[in-house]
Amino acid sequence: MSVRAHGRITVPSGGTPVRATSNESDASDRVPCHSIMFQRNVSSETGRVYILKGSTAGFANVIAVLAAPTVGSTATGILASATFVANLSPNAFNLAEFYVDVETNDDGCIISSVRS
């Protein structure tokens, strides 16, 4: 098993989802993984982050909502996160099928995954 950091995904314009693999050399390539974690990490951000399964904006594809960090939360370790795990099906997820959208322009999250 290997843990992989995919970096921070920043969404320049709310309502225009950004692929979770946008930091990869080819964002559309399959990135198989056993689990995925999305986590807020900038305490100055003010809006919600939406995790979507698919590229269409709107609540039909939202699978998680990450609240804005509270003041000082990065120092105390209280950060909103969402984790998805396929316990009985190794590498069942394709990170390239996930998207990040935001309520406030230029907000985002960090993403990591585990590959079996």
Contacts of 80 (CB under 8 A, 6+ apart): 39, 40, 49, 66, 67, 68, 69
Domains of the chain in start order, with CATH, are: 2-115 (2.60.120)
Pairing of strands 62-66, 108-115: unpaired
Select the more confidently predicted residue: 70 or 28. Answer: 28
pLDDT greater than 80 at residue 88? yes
Classify 30 in phi/psi space as left (phi over 0), alpha (psi -120 to 50) or beta.
Answer: beta
Note if the pTM is more than 0.95: no
| Lookup result for tokens 């995925």 | 36
Select the more confidently predicted residue: 61 or 79. Answer: 61
Residue spans of alpha helices (H) in the chain: 73-76
Q: What pLDDT shows up at residue 71?
A: 61
